[in-house]
Structure 1
Amino acid sequence: MEKINLLATISLIVISISLFLSLFLVTVKTEHKLSNRLFAFFLILSAIDISVNLGDLFKIPLNARIFITSIFFLQLPTFYLYILSVCYSDFKLKPRHLIHAIAFLISNLILLPRFYAVSLASKISFLQKSSSMPEIQFNHILLHIQMAIYIIAAFMILRKAKKIYLENYAGASIESLNWLFQFTIALSIFYCVALLKNIFKFTEYPNISEWLKIGLLIFELIIIFWYLFKALNNPSLFRSIDSKLKLVQHIIYEEKKSSPLAVNEKEYNSAILKLQQYMIEEKPFLNPSLTIQDVSVAIEIPVRDLSLLINHKLEQHFYDFVNTYRIENAMDILKDVTKNKVTILEILYDVGFNSKSSFNTAFKKYTGNTPTSYRKSL
């Protein structure tokens, strides 16, 4: 009884917080409305899924209970769409995205003949033999396959988005992608433990399943608070990239496929000189939101050619290329004895960084020291 009360209590807390955060995400004024709405929908689906734990407090019909458990089939597809909306600024929901609801529809349709459409006595009999019923077994296999597909797909999208970002941008979105990667890992662990819970449910140790269920609810609560903390403390964290941008390796492949690259060493050196001169004289790297498109317009070199020049010919991501100039500028300030009272935080903002962590990482990568230890060694 105590375990039931604990489960119901934690479930009510998680449901309340999830619904409150959903309301906040839907009503808050922001440029990222679609992302907020998708994550709000994900939280609402999670709240509905958890509500089945309240069956001992409220009378939930059997049809509703089973339907609620099938909501799980919509959670990962929704989270996948959320990742797409965060990664790509031009992402929009389209009718074709309804394909992600197929597993949910199949899981319910397969239960229609021998559960949803039969008498109460037949329903009870079906549930008593649920572990051996082919419909339940099929749904469990379908759920496992769906989880594997969407988790792998989410990581593939994040990996591609990060590479595109590094080749075309030099702002703070890399932190957003890194955090989203960590968040996806946390959710992957959550769903893997959920699968483990379901396995124990049909073994001789159902009590382990119940305790895992309580642990998952607490873990879900932590994940929600983590997201809320990040979103509120970093309102500019969630910036997106243009999905029309291509990876350099794809551009090179297309170039080779259409016609062999005729490398003109003189043009190549001229373009590099023009780029370096622009970076030194105009200092565009001081702009924390600098993109390869901005540089392309300024020096009148097509984005495609400039991307190949930096990311392929110079063998540097645009992100690292720009940060090199920022770090060199920061080193000049740190060496200047007349500016020894300027704080590290002031310097990082002055040279184009917009976060202490990204500045420290880039500085250590370039010099082998932290900014503070570099200053002390002078």
Structure 2
Amino acid sequence: MSMDNLEKQLICPICLEMFTKPVVILPCQHNLCRKCANDIFQASNPYLPTRAGSLTSGGRFRCPSCRHEVVLDRHGVYGLQRNLLVENIIDMFKQESSSSKPAPERKEEMPMCDVHEEEKINIYCVTHGVPTCSMCKVFGAHKDCEVAPISSIYQTKKTELSDGIAMMVGNNDRMQGIISQLEEACRAIEENGRRQKTVVCEKFDQLYTILEEKKRQMSQKVTAEQEEKVNYIRGLTKKYGDHLEESCKIVEQGIQTMEEPEMALFLQNTKPLLKKIADASSTAHLDKVERGYENMDHYNIEFKKEGRALRSIDFIQDEEDEEEDDVDGEAAAEEGDGAQTVSGGSAVTVASVQPPAPQQTNSSPSSAKSAAST
């Protein structure tokens, strides 16, 4: 039998630790620590009369391994037979273990149970996911629950936390890359906006006196979209930055928890920390910017047609009849941009020039904001 298998045979079913001297053997041939047997006996016989610290009559309790009823005399647990063979095996096992393994570092005192103040927290309730004591398993709130040694759960949860931290570090690196891309997109939008406004101004300088108001309107339109896009990108950058900052705090907290030497304290802090890691690992609530969102090339401007119209403006000929003058006047009034001046008794008509509206594309801030996160 290997040392590990031997050690499992020497574990008390109550405290889940190696039997503590003196070991008692029950009539059903199962073994218990004397302290654990006494705890079960007292819990099963809370109203048994005592005198000067000793029992005045016998009592009974059930074996935790096979549920066999154990009947005690007036000596109580101390009347049970000691298992000297198991005691000798435990001594030999401890000597063998101490000679083959380096002396363990001194650990901090284990935390005590809140319900049973004299009991150490030495087992883990798998059903409720909390560390507890052996008395809670036998008589307390966890008597019907599945339990396991705290050391095995400690290793499992520590591995789970380590994997969670590694995943968070990878997510943080990806988010940092996204933030860099967002900052580059913001700079591209600002540069494209400045370039497009320059093109708009150059085009409108050719028609400055007539189209000054139109130039102002179109410039405002470009600026409005630029500001809307920049504000959206900056807001999204702030969201990713806040998420990254929170993730870094969780990673730091996880690293500090990994350094906790006490298993029970570690497990008490692991459950909420793993919940935070799971919540922070998801970026589904953060929008993604669709490809080409920073583009503003849809503000194309071409004034060839309007230039030809301006070059065709001329005086009204004197031989034209008044009816034609009225038709021209009505057309100018309907277009709204036409004007008539009188110079030297002659009517001069300024051709109406209406630049076409800038070509619209689907790359609008609202469409990008509603893009599904991928």
The structure showing larger relative contact order (alpha-carbon pairs under 8 Å, at least 6 residues apart) is 1
- TM-score, normalised to structure 2, is 0.24
- TM-score, normalised to structure 1, is 0.24
Give 1 or 2: higher strand fraction. Answer: 2
Give 1 or 2: higher helix fraction. Answer: 1
Higher-Rg structure is: 2
